[in-house]
Amino acid sequence: MAILGLYVHIPFCSSICNYCNFNRGLFDSGLKDRYVAALEQEIRTSPHGGARADTIFFGGGTPSLLDPAEIARIIRACAESFDLAPDAEITLEANPETSSAERMGGFRDAGINRVSFGVQSFREAELRRLGRIHSVERARAAVQEARRADIDNVSVDLMMWLPQQTIAEWRESVESLIEVQPAHASLYLLELYPNAPLKEDMARAGWSLAPDDDAAEMYLWSMDRLERAGYAQYEISNVARPRRASRHNLKYWQDGAWIGFGCGAHSTRDGVRWKNVSGTDEYVNRLAAGQPVIAERRELTRDMRLEDALFTGLRLNEGVDIDEVGARYGKDVWNTFGGALQPALEAGLAVREGTRLRLTREGMLLANEVLSVFV
């Protein structure tokens, strides 16, 4: 049985960014108190309790808005309900404006040993365009505060292809990231969802996005630059120093198992996938009334599990061992998908090396198209 990852969703933010499509809302102290109690209850009454787990990931929203004592309570609930590995990776997503030396010390004492900062840009004008409320200086200080608190496993998120961003400006952010020396970094392309307020801001201010070719150059250049700075790319959007790949996120890409707690949290275990109710109030009220919080539940067929393992596994640099994954789900991967993959192989977007299939870096740029054969 796969060792579990535990995901804990914290849906509160100090302000709402204009591009954000996550399950979150404005911080409300009373609701937050009831939410933490509800989370503890969901964890302590989980039917999966007792199972082995080796990662906890606080995602959001802005989990670092919780007090260290609240994070400690939730970690304690996980440790007392699951068979938690002593060396578990315990990650807190944090925004720079919520960080201070004292709070980072408190999070470390609570059990946090990895912090992932939502920095997004090292240029003030870009932060303002995105509606972010921290400054570049605050972001730099936050990384140092975590490190001084002996949390050396720090990750920084950056977003590329921002409104008005030029290739040179993107390079500036990447160089600044290298200067602050995080152990891990995630580089995402900005995605504009249909009703994003950022779209209106762009129309009003006359901001535009660089051409697609520039976005491709930004991606390829930064992966190359980060490699020269000692990072290894291990997934489409993620790079890490040796042994610093995110153990929790690898479960999503390596056909692993995880249990999600909190509103809107997803879970996958033994071919079953389920999702909690999305609304924070509804989640809290249901738990208070002793009602189940699962909103959707789906049993996956073996074919669906195979397609999913290939779809997510091919996001990794190492790709997937198609013989191994085929044996797991009783199907010959090459016979089933070889024909559909042929154009990508011929175009140099994917390569087959022995039993392994993987995307090239050019293939990663077009991953949605290449991987659509598994959907």
Decide whether 20 or 216 has the Cβ nearer to ligand SF4: 20
Question: Binding to ligand SF4 by residue 238, rule CB under 6 A?
Answer: no
Decide whether 20 or 300 has the Cβ nearer to ligand SF4: 20
List CB contacts of 60: < 8 A, sequence separation 6 or more.
9, 10, 11, 12, 13, 22, 24, 93
In the set 5, 6, 8, 24, which binds ligand SF4 (CB under 6 A)? 24
Residue 155 and residue 115 in contact, taking contact as beta carbons nearer than 8 Å: yes
Stretch near ligand SF4 under the rule CB under 6 A, chosen from 10-18, 97-105, 201-209, 328-336: 10-18
Question: Binding to ligand SF4 by residue 264, rule CB under 6 A?
Answer: no
The minimum distance between CB 157 and ligand SF4, in angstroms, equals 9
The minimum distance between CB 88 and ligand SF4, in angstroms, equals 24
Which residue has its beta carbon closest to ligand SF4? 20
Q: 3: which 2 tokens?
A: 């060792």
Q: Please give the radius of gyration of the chain, using alpha carbons only, rounded to the nearest integer.
A: 21
List CB contacts of 131: < 8 A, sequence separation 6 or more.
15, 16, 17, 18, 19, 197, 198
CA distance to 6, 116, 154, per residue, from 284 (Å): 19, 26, 31
CA distance to 28, 167, 364, per residue, from 158 (Å): 27, 14, 18
Count of CB atoms within 10 A of residue 114's CB? 25
Decide whether 190 or 220 has the Cβ nearer to ligand SF4: 190
Decide whether 11 or 326 has the Cβ nearer to ligand SF4: 11
The 320-321 sheet, strands edge to edge: 320-321, 356-359, 350-353
Residue 246 and residue 155 in contact, taking contact as beta carbons nearer than 8 Å: yes
* DSSP tag of 300: P
Decide whether 193 or 347 has the Cβ nearer to ligand SF4: 193
Binding to ligand SF4 (CB under 6 A) within 90-109 occurs at: 95
Decide whether 12 or 337 has the Cβ nearer to ligand SF4: 12
Decide whether 62 or 233 has the Cβ nearer to ligand SF4: 62
Binding to ligand SF4 (CB under 6 A) within 38-77 occurs at: 60-62
Alpha-carbon distance of 124 to 110, in angstroms, equals 32
Question: Binding to ligand SF4 by residue 13, rule CB under 6 A?
Answer: yes
In the set 20, 192, 345, 367, which binds ligand SF4 (CB under 6 A)? 20
Question: Binding to ligand SF4 by residue 17, rule CB under 6 A?
Answer: yes
Total of residues contacting ligand SF4 (CB under 6 A): 11
CA torsion, points 52, 274, 73, 93, in degrees to nearest 10?
100
Binding to ligand SF4 (CB under 6 A) within 106-165 occurs at: 118
Residue pointed to by tokens 């924070």: 280
The minimum distance between CB 120 and ligand SF4, in angstroms, equals 8
The minimum distance between CB 190 and ligand SF4, in angstroms, equals 11
Count of CB atoms within 10 A of residue 263's CB? 28
Give me the residues that bind ligand SF4 (CB under 6 A), please.
13, 16-17, 20, 22, 24, 60-62, 95, 118
